[in-house]
Amino acid sequence: MRAIDAAHFGIGMRHAGYNLYVMGHTGSGKHTLIRQLLDQRVGAEANPADWCYVHNFSQPHKPRAIQLPGGMGTRFHADMQQLVAELQATIPAVFEGEEYRRRLSQIDDEYNERQTQAFGAVGDEANQHGVALLRTPSGFSFAPAKDDEVMSPDDYDKLPDEEKKHIEQEVSSLQEQLEKVIHQVHQWRRERLDRVRTLNEEAVLFAVGHLMDSLRSDYADYPAVCSYLNEAQQNVIESIDEFRHPKQGMSALAAITSEMPDFSRFRVNLLVGRDSIEGAPVVYEEHPTYQNLIGRVEHISQLGALVTNFLLIKPGALHMANGGYLLLDALKLLTQPFSWEGLKRALSTHEIRIESLGQMYSLVSTVSLEPEPIPLDAKVILIGNRMLYYLLAQYDPEFGELFKVAADFEDEVERSADNDLLYARMIGTLVRREKLRPFDRGAVARVIEHSARRAEDAERLSTHIVSLADLVREADYWAAQDQRDAVARGDVERAIAAQIKRSDRLRDRSHEAILRGILHIDTEGEAVGQVNGLSVFQLGDFSFAQPSRITANTRLGDGELVDIQREVKLGGSIHSKGVLILSSFLASRYAAEQPLSLGASLVFEQTYGQVEGDSASVAELCALLSSLANAPIRQSLAVTGSVDQFGRVQAIGAVNDKIEGYFDICSQRGLSGQQGVLIPASNVMHLMLRQDVVDAAAAGHFHIYAVETVDQALELLTGLPVGTPDEAGSLNQRVAQRLKQLAELRRKFAGKDKSDSGDSHANSDE
For the chain, give the percent of residues with pLDDT over 90: 45
DSSP 174: H
Who has greater pLDDT, 52 or 240? 52
Q: Tell me, yes or no, if 658 is annotated catalytic.
A: yes
Residues 593-602, mean pLDDT to the nearest whole number: 84
Domain 2-48+277-408, CATH: 3.40.50.300
Over residues 725-730, mean pLDDT:
84
The pLDDT-based confidence of 134 (bands split at 50, 70, 90) is low
Evaluate whether 624 touches 552 at the Cβ level (below 8 Å).
Answer: yes
Answer yes or no: is pLDDT of 722 > 50: yes
pLDDT, residue 256, reads 41
- At 612 the pLDDT is 84
DSSP-H helix ranges across 251-385: 290-294, 317-321, 330-334, 339-349, 357-360
d(CA 37, CA 351): 26
pLDDT of residue 259: 38
246: pLDDT confidence band, cut at 50, 70 and 90? low
* 8 Å CB contact between 664 and 725: no
- 408 forms bridges with which residues in the sheet? 23
Report whether pLDDT(437) > 50: yes
Q: Measured between alpha carbons, how far is 566 from 611 in angstroms, rounded to an integer?
A: 9
On the question of a common fold for 2-48+277-408 and 508-739, the answer reads no
Give the residue, 321 or 136, on which the prediction is more confident: 321
The pLDDT-based confidence of 366 (bands split at 50, 70, 90) is: low
- Does the CA dihedral 63-67-68-69 come out positive or negative? positive
Taking the domain 412-501, which CATH number applies?
A: 1.10.8.60
With vertex at residue 75, the alpha carbon angle to CA 231 and CA 239, rounded to the nearest 5 degrees, is 30
The C-alpha angle 140, 146, 150, rounded to 5 degrees, equals 35
| CA neighbor of 454 nearest in space, from 641, 650, 657, 616 | 657
Give the list of residues 6+ apart from residue 253 with CB closer than 8 angstroms, or none: 302, 307, 309
Q: How confident is the model at residue 362 (pLDDT cuts 50, 70, 90)?
A: low
pLDDT digits (tens, 9 = 90+) for 138-158: 666 666 666 666 666 766 666
What is the dihedral sign for C-alpha 404, 410, 414, 420?
Answer: positive
Three-class SS of residue 497?
helix
**CA 725/CA 590 separation, integer angstroms:** 8
Q: Quick one: pLDDT at residue 253?
A: 43
pLDDT of residue 154: 66
From the list 35, 6, 14, the residue with the least C-alpha distance to 405 is 6
E-assigned strand segments in 44-83: 50-54, 64-68
Among 202, 200, 228, CA closest to 215: 228
- Would you give the distance in Å from CA 171 to the centre of its chain? 90
Q: Which of 264, 379, 658, 730 is catalytic?
A: 658
Is 50 exceeded by the pLDDT of residue 129? yes
| Catalytic residue from among 28, 339, 548, 615 | 615
pLDDT digits (tens, 9 = 90+) for 7-28: 889 888 888 899 999 998 887 7
Collapsing DSSP states into helix, strand and coil, what is residue 545?
strand
Taking residues 358-370, report their average pLDDT: 67
- CATH 3.30.460.80 assigned to 508-739: no
Whole-number Å distance between alpha carbons of 504 and 511: 10
Q: Is 306 helix (H, G, I), strand (E, B) or coil?
A: strand
Cβ-in-10-Å burial (0-12, 13-18, 19+) of 654 comes to buried
Select from 328, 373, 330, 370 the least CA-distant residue to 348. Answer: 373
Q: Is the pLDDT of residue 695 over 90?
A: yes
Domains in the chain: boundaries: 2-48+277-408, 93-276, 412-501, 508-739
Residue 441 clears pLDDT 80, i.e. is over it: yes
Q: What is the pLDDT of residues 403-414, one digit of tens each?
A: 999 998 888 888
| CA gap 579, 616 in Å, rounded | 9
Provide, rounded to the nearest whole percent, the portion of the chain with pLDDT above 70: 88
CA distances from 319 to 308, 351, 352, 444, 765 (A): 20, 10, 8, 45, 97
Comparing 67-71, 160-164, 384-388, 647-651, the range with the smallest average pLDDT is 160-164
Mean of pLDDT values over 498-526: 92
pLDDT grade, residue 445 (50/70/90)? very high
Q: Which of 267, 311, 256 is nearest to 80 (CA)?
A: 267
Summarised one tens digit per residue, pLDDT across range 183-226 is 777 887 888 888 878 877 777 777 778 888 888 899 999 999 99
Q: What is the mean pLDDT of residues 468-478?
A: 93
pLDDT the model gives residue 766: 39
Arithmetic mean of pLDDT, 559-567: 85
CA distances from 504 to 91, 527, 662, 664 (A): 80, 31, 15, 13
- Encode pLDDT of 532-544 as tens digits: 999 999 888 888 9
Terminal-to-terminal C-alpha distance of the chain: 89
Encoded amino acid at 446, one letter: R
User: Per-residue pLDDT averaged across 639-661, rounded?
Assistant: 93
**pLDDT at position 240 over 90:** no
> How many Å apart are CA 525 and CA 154, to the nearest integer?
152
Q: Which among 464, 440, 439, 459 is positioned nearest to 449, based on CA atoms?
A: 459
What is d(CA 268, CA 91) in angstroms, rounded to the nearest whole number?
A: 20
Which range among 70-84, 130-144, 449-463, 644-658 shows the weakest confidence by mean pLDDT? 130-144
Identity of the amino acid at 504? D
Side chain identity at residue 708, one-letter code: E
β-pair partners for 706: 679
SS3 292: helix
User: For position 359, what pLDDT does the model report?
Assistant: 67
> Rounded to 5 degrees, what angle do the CA atoms 414, 420, 421 make?
135
Distance of CA 693 to the CA centre of its chain: 44
Lowest mean pLDDT segment, chosen from 32-41, 444-453, 490-499, 697-706: 32-41
How confident is the model at residue 326, as a pLDDT?
95
Report which of residues 302 and 136 the model is more confident about: 302
pLDDT exceeds 70 at position 251: no
Report the chain's C-alpha Rg in angstroms. 48
Span 580-609, mean pLDDT?
85
pLDDT at position 622: 94
> What pLDDT, on the 0 to 100 scale, is given for residue 542?
86
Q: pLDDT category, 367, cuts 50, 70, 90?
A: low
How far apart are the C-alpha atoms of 36 and 447, rounded to whole Å? 24
Q: How confident is the model at residue 706 (pLDDT cuts 50, 70, 90)?
A: very high
Return mean pLDDT, the chain. 85
Mean pLDDT within 738-746: 85
Which residue type is seen at 660?
Answer: E
Q: How confident is the model at residue 360 (pLDDT cuts 50, 70, 90)?
A: low
For position 126, what pLDDT does the model report? 67
In sequence order, the 6+-apart residues with CB closer than 8 A to the CB of 206 are 94
